[in-house]
Structure 1
């Protein structure tokens, strides 16, 4: 498979009729870009079901679904693309007919290989890779391969009432429309976002600005150890509002790094190790330790590894919409970690980046990048993906 490059193809008259409602939302040029997209979706579980449904209905060009596992009893309780008749069959193959029936115009490919066996160059074949329900090391390996190919990467997963989406778009340019303001725009809006260009047009006697912006991203391996921006930690009220889910997710990924990718069990040793790690991560983030209480830790641990359909629908819908925004180069993309807490019905987004003093940036720029530092063909020592 060769790289698609997301070169927009002209849209036909019948496709204009089929996608009329969404063309009215984001325009025909955006729809052309979406229809040229070649997407890789890893792990065909509940979250991927929702992502696939939304992307296929939006009319992407091609979707490759990869999963080497088989359908189990647990899958039947959370997924809508598989049934009892699929038990023991490959998950991706079982889901494929239902995905295809949603929009036969989308080219659908099924790959039953283990994602750990894929070489780094495999990911260069896709415009965007969406990795779901994997361990931290596998996420960072795929992220590194996508970085080397200059391809956007998403990681996402569910743990019962909790969920997360991480985005590394490397460098992404997009356009937003807004009513012209009398206040001059700052070229540097945030540490990661700059304004590249502003043009104007008139609509119904209003002057509309077309603002082209650029967002710079960090890979997961760096974002996972990055501090919260000072506006979150310098204000007591804002600091207390930071969800302890961030510390728990970091503790989970740290646990997976040292345990071969598995989830913590309820053994005394695992509980002690995870609890201490979560408290350490919480303090590293400069958060008040009382906001990470035992009830939240217990809730997080009890939800690990489970899937709930409503949470999958929310997280999967949000992820698919962000992918569509990125493909169409319209709207502000996710920057860069969304955390969903179903108990509180909240979904805060935290920009996590390793910002360094100017003198350190200069010294780092002189260090050549490592060639393929994370080999993808080595599977984790043990444990579920």
Structure 2
């Protein structure tokens, strides 16, 4: 079924103002009106998408389309809250539909049980934002390309046990922030991707408030995935050591999937050696100290692949949904452009990954040889989360 566009002819009603009172106090009636007209596509309905759907539906978006062709399995019951044992064997999206609708009957909910791989590029033109979760790299980039052709914002996100990520490609996004008027003149170009388009002022009590319109420009995932870290993360040794090795491991996973038709590495000797070599090579491409990519983290990342943890899903899904709300309301600084979450360390750094190459670091870094195989293989049983 093709989702119908929400009716935006009428302004938000009094009962809607009462229903969404708390959030209207946060972002205003105009922002809420933008939310109620939004048509969102959510791909793959697992634990992460559960959290995204919950937050967007409760916020009062206009329409949500969930597409998932897979059936509910016992593994799905561990971290998802819209399904239970009675739904085993049923389509994952259809099984959750009644519970999603019950959260906010005002939101139009559409369920699509087709395989996302069968959708043509035109399919994505009908949605204001596409959120793709738990897919392989090739599928992410294919959908991202279709969204770019349609000039539609795109998010990719996924979980691997204690680890998770959110990537945003908003193409070009304008937003407004409010701040106290500064005596220092603002620069037109704040960062390589962010510029100031306009500044107006208003008076509140005795304060002069600036309304600053900014524009962020984005890169697609296929370019961001091969882009260097900005100079601010690699210029100083202390900063380099703070860069999470999760970025390297995620890139290594996606590179592995390119070579294995979307599969994830197992604990076979061949897979471990292949993944380790990819990770070492990519870590050095990022100009990071090889010592920060230790065997313990590599092992932990591999042991977490394909699993879901509710607390990690809650954080990553909540962060993604909040960014979508910010983008729809055109308020606040949006994600630029890769958020990585390490649940073991409880850190969530954001890296702006774009094909802007920083100055070369001293050649001593490039001369450090990669470890041939930092994951001990002999006499070590595979561990599970």
What corresponds to 2:126 in structure 1? 125
Contact 1:4 1:127 in 2 (8 A): no
Q: What pairs up with 1:313-352 in 2 under 5 angstroms?
A: 313-352=314-353
Q: RMSD of aligned C-alpha atoms?
A: 1.4
Give secondary structure in 2 for the equivalent of 1:199: strand
Contact 1:240 1:288 in 2 (8 A): yes
Q: Is 1:231 the counterpart of 2:220 in the alignment?
A: no
Gaps of 5+ in 2: 359-385
- Report the CA distance shift for 1:3/1:94 in structure 2 as closer, same or farther (over 3 A): closer
What corresponds to 1:307 in structure 2? 308
- Report the CA distance shift for 1:168/1:45 in structure 2 as closer, same or farther (over 3 A): same
CA distance in 2, matches of 1:7, 1:332: 26
Scaled by the length of structure 1, the TM-score of the pair is 0.91
What corresponds to 2:253 in structure 1? 252
What corresponds to 1:91 in structure 2? 92
CA distance in 2, matches of 1:314, 1:35: 24
What corresponds to 1:136 in structure 2? 137
> Which whole-Å deviations, capped at 9, do the CAs of 1:334-381 have from their partners, x for residues lacking one?
000000000110000000001269xxxxxxxxxxxxxxxxxxxxxxxx
What corresponds to 1:297 in structure 2? 298
Contact 2:73 2:89 in 1 (8 A): yes
- Report the CA distance shift for 1:297/1:40 in structure 2 as closer, same or farther (over 3 A): same
Scaled by the length of structure 2, the TM-score of the pair is 0.91
Give secondary structure in 1 for the equivalent of 2:300: helix
CA distance in 2, matches of 1:157, 1:223: 16
> Which whole-Å deviations, capped at 9, do the CAs of 1:43-88 have from their partners, x for residues lacking one?
0000000000000000000000000000000000110010000000
What corresponds to 1:184 in structure 2? 185
CA distance in 1, matches of 2:46, 2:205: 47
What corresponds to 2:153 in structure 1? 152
Contact 1:8 1:32 in 2 (8 A): no
Deviation at 1:7, TM superposition (A): 6.6
Contact 1:188 1:194 in 2 (8 A): yes
What corresponds to 2:368 in structure 1? none
- Report the CA distance shift for 1:285/1:9 in structure 2 as closer, same or farther (over 3 A): farther
Gaps of 5+ in 1: 358-385
What corresponds to 1:205 in structure 2? 206
What corresponds to 2:381 in structure 1? none
Deviation at 1:5, TM superposition (A): 10
Number of residues paired by the alignment? Answer: 357
Deviation at 1:204, TM superposition (A): 1.8
